[in-house]
Structure 1
């Protein structure tokens, strides 16, 4: 049995795909920029002995990394779920 979602069943689904794609791109760009800035602040704060700022910057690096992984892996995960549903 071949079960696949009907993506054309709703009106305006193409517009929704474009919006989601644009938002995903923005999230990935912001996450990567946040990762870079937080890593720079972490390095500078650690070098100057400011442990409070280094701790907050380290948290920023971890949050940016998780956000980038979730945003980047969201499409792959959804495709995997659709493929899994096709096999049921």
Structure 2
């Protein structure tokens, strides 16, 4: 009896899908870093001027942007893992 394996090359547009996902993840990472810089500036200026409500919002923005950057980086690693795994099936 012959072994049956999936034909990974039968999926059309695999290289296009990889480039689109890579572009989205790169854009997400750039926006997260930009948000991190802006929120850190807002946090520092608000904290030094005594506006604790804005400082609190800047702090939350810093943590949200760090989470977004971490998820974008994890998304790249996860996509690369799945592509390597798919080519070995």
Q: TM-score, normalised by structure 2?
A: 0.78
Shift of the 14–34 alpha-carbon distance from structure 1 to 2, 3 Å rule, reads: same
Aligned 1:1-88 pairs, distance under 5 A: 6=8, 8-78=9-79, 79=81
CA RMSD across the alignment: 2.2
Say how many residue pairs are matched: 80
Any unmatched runs of 5+ in structure 2?
Answer: none
Partner Cα separation in structure 2 for residue 56 and residue 4 of structure 1: 50
Partner Cα separation in structure 1 for residue 53 and residue 14 of structure 2: 47
- Largest Rg, 1 or 2: 2
Any unmatched runs of 5+ in structure 1?
Answer: none
Q: Which has the higher contact order (CA 8 A, sep 6+)?
A: 1
Q: TM-score, normalised by structure 1?
A: 0.78
